[in-house]
Amino acid sequence: MCWIIITSVISLTLFLIWASADIGSNVYLKTLCKGKTTKKVVTLTFDDGPDKEMTPRVLDILKEYNIKATFFLIGKNVEKHPDIVKRMVAEGHIIANHTHSHQGTFPMSSSKQVNNELENCDEAIRQATGKSPKLFRPPFGVTNPIIGNAVRKRGYSTIGWSIRSLDTIKGRSRKEVRDKVVAKLHPGAIILLHDRCEKADELLREIISAGKQNGYDFVSLKEILNIKAYEN
């Protein structure tokens, strides 16, 4: 009897960890992690920007290849670099909400704090561009019932990923990251990258080049998911 209880508690704990930590679990929040298509099309997403140094270089490369990406922005960074965000919009990229301050404690926040994080990021983006985002990606991909409720109430579509590059992990070579991304390419893939990472521009160029060699086209998230990015 005792073992049954212990096993049940362990199983429940593991389930709750998975439900919170796996962006694709869909337990607390319906999350779109890939497109339904058989065509060899994929899309690029960048989190945590804009970064003063690296984001313009990433934008230069996207422009060179005429690729439209999606940027999940941190509100505080938007306030610091509104011109970079304006450039994203002018060049046809999608901008989206990734909370205002992206704190490690976000998953422990109260309902009011979560709502403020979402609203303040939206406001920063509105101030910079006049656009009200309808797409959201939770920091660290972590969700819980409080985040789930706040996001639903505000009417966002939550965007996950199907290929996590793990480009932020120190000690991994660019080649390792690139090879891992390329090995996982599949029709409708949503690729997660960070435009704040050192050499994000070089990594991007290598991923585009290897992806194209494998017959993949890099298209906009709108094309992959057929969704609206903004309020109006």
Q: Which stretch binds Zn ion (CB under 5 A): 42-50, 168-176, 206-214, 215-223?
A: 42-50
Q: Which is nearer to Zn ion, 197 or 204 (CB)?
A: 197
Q: How far are the Cα atoms of 57, 166, 190 from residue 181, in angstroms, in the given order?
A: 20, 9, 11
Return d(Cα 7, Cα 28) in angstroms, integer. 24
Reduced 3-state DSSP string for 91-145: CCCEEEECCCCCCCCHHHCCHHHHHHHHHHHHHHHHHHHCCCECEECCHHHCCCH
Q: Is 47 a catalytic residue?
A: yes
**Residue 48 interacting with Zn ion (CB under 5 A):** yes
- In the complex, the smallest distance separating the C-beta of residue 192 from Zn ion, rounded to whole angstroms, is 9
- Of the candidates 98, 122, 194, 195, the residue annotated as catalytic is 194
Q: How far is the CB of 125 from Zn ion (least distance, A)?
A: 15
Is there a catalytic annotation at residue 98? Answer: no
Q: Does 47 bind Zn ion (CB under 5 A)?
A: yes
Place of tokens 């009897």: 1
Tokens of residue 101, six digits: 């301050």
Q: Minimum Å distance from CB 121 to Zn ion?
A: 12
User: CB under 5 A: which stretch of 54-62, 136-144, 163-171, 214-222 binds Zn ion?
Assistant: 136-144
Handedness of CA 21, 25, 28, 34 (dihedral sign): positive
Interface contacts to Zn ion, rule CB under 5 A: 47-48, 139
Q: Which residues are catalytic?
A: 47, 194
